[in-house]
Amino acid sequence: MIKTRMAPSPTGEFHIGSMRTLLYNYAFAKSKEGKFVLRIEDTDRARYVEGATERLMAVVKSYGLGWDEGPYIQSERLDIYKKHSLILVEKDVAYYCFCTPERLKDLRKEQQKNKMPSTKYDRHCLKLSKEEITEKVASGEKYVIRLKIPTSENIEFEDLILGKISFPSKDIDDQILLKSDGYPTYHLAVVVDDHLMKISHVIRGVEWLASTPKHILLYKYLGWNLPLYAHIPLLKESNSTKKLSKREGSVASKGFLEKGYLAEALLNFLMFLGWNPGTDKEIYTLEEFIKDFSLGGIQKTDLVSFDRDKLLWTNGTYIRNMSVAELWKRLNLWATEYNIELNKKSKDKEFNVKVLGLVQERLKIFSEYNGLTHYFYKTPSVDRKLLFKYTKENESRTKRIISKFIEILSSSNWSRSELEEKCKGMIKKEGYSPKEAFMTLRVVLTNEKATPQIFDILEVLGKKTVLSRLKSLVI
């Protein structure tokens, strides 16, 4: 059976790049009628964040994804890892190391001072006799268990995306497998768990490529068959060579949902960060993606652009394709979930839906809604400089235009067609340009330069509100 996994560490909020990796693992397993496993790699206790596991699982579900097995928790499996580390020691492919942190720090400094290409452990403890090791362990001296890397071997494997990869073993450090606190390092735990959980394909970011030879050696020494490896590109900021940065915007999966992105739009966007269907199709449901997804469509590159503008476009497309009733429902669910107070009339859903319908074309994310609709719910404070801008700061001309609008709108029955006819007729008769007249009217009613059609605004605001706002500017 095809089996993939995602094994995040609960060290903070779940990164959007990790969500992309999870999506690819999930889709590959589902496309092969296999299983997807969730495993929590919480063995780095120094970086462990309380509650991160629960938040991680919740956000995965919020994106509409799930898992068939798990979550397996590594901190509950310590005896398994210790058992396998001791098997490696017995096979003489791993060894006890009693070096103190101070000695290792001094060793690193010395190697850096001598301009060594990379700092490596000097195998000081490999010289210890069995008797010395037994005595040190019996006396309670702290130790780690290290992997004994062969000194002159080429470690090769075939990556499903990158092709044939080769690493000279002389460049690899004797990796710690079991730490002095009894917890395994990533390298031991990932190999043991992937084998015991029968993971067939390891699909992960290319930053883990350098770890693969260590893992291959562990599989070899433990007498296990290798899974198939596929290393996918990392994400970078658009027009940059830097990885995703909080300085550019959110990098947490939950942060995008909080800002008002739709989960299905986010998934659609993530699908294309490294994968290409070979067609012009840009909008995919999760089901369509699973059907079309293949590892052969993943790019052979180190970095893929995380184009935040394209994400906005994608999200806006999803918003525009919704019925206004469904959009209003989703907007309110988002506001409830993240404790956002929306502009709305609590007892007039029809009015609220009309307002949303007017701004739907311009709405790209839910967090823009209040800014786009504020003038429907509260009389704006008008910027006088902006108000007089369209009559070239001729205050008396501006006030005459407002007075003329008051005059013709006071006698209107308030249908959209009549409003448009009367306003355009007045402008033509008085000799005003459409821009100066309608922009002045727009500023009075909204204090904005860009809004929906002015006649739609008039119709929805209603006669009483419109006349009240106009009269307040000529008194």
Residues annotated as catalytic (active site), given as ranges: 246
| Contact status, residue 39 vs residue 74, Cβ threshold 8 Å | yes
Question: Tokens standing for 18?
Answer: 């990790």
> Among residues 405, 383, 394, 375, which one has the least CA distance to residue 467?
405
Sign of the alpha-carbon torsion through 48, 54, 55, 57: positive
Question: Tokens standing for 426?
Answer: 């007045």
Contacts 24+ apart (CB under 8 A), 217-222: 217/93, 217/147, 217/149, 217/150, 217/155, 218/88, 218/147, 218/177, 218/187, 218/188, 218/191, 219/191, 219/195, 221/88, 221/91, 221/93, 221/94, 222/84, 222/87, 222/88, 222/191, 222/195
In this structure, the number of other CB atoms found within 10 A of the CB of residue 179 comes to 17
Question: In the block, which residue shows the tokens 């101070």?
Answer: 102
Q: What is the DSSP pairing of strand 154-159 with strand 163-168?
A: antiparallel
Distance (Å, whole) CA 430 – CA 45: 77
Q: What is the DSSP pairing of strand 228-232 with strand 201-205?
A: parallel
Q: What angle do CA 19, 20, 25 make, to 5 degrees?
A: 95
Ramachandran bin of 16, using left for φ above 0, alpha for ψ from -120 to 50, beta for the remaining angles: alpha
- The continuous run of DSSP H or E covering 159 comes out as strand 154-159
Distance (Å, whole) CA 14 – CA 31: 24
Identity of residue 362: R
Q: What angle do CA 91, 137, 110 make, to 5 degrees?
A: 85
On the CB side of 411, CA atoms within 13 Å amount to 8
| Contact status, residue 66 vs residue 95, Cβ threshold 8 Å | no
On the CB side of 338, CA atoms within 13 Å amount to 19
Question: Tokens standing for 211?
Answer: 């770890």
Question: Tokens standing for 61?
Answer: 């579900």
| Contact status, residue 345 vs residue 351, Cβ threshold 8 Å | yes
| Contact status, residue 39 vs residue 197, Cβ threshold 8 Å | yes
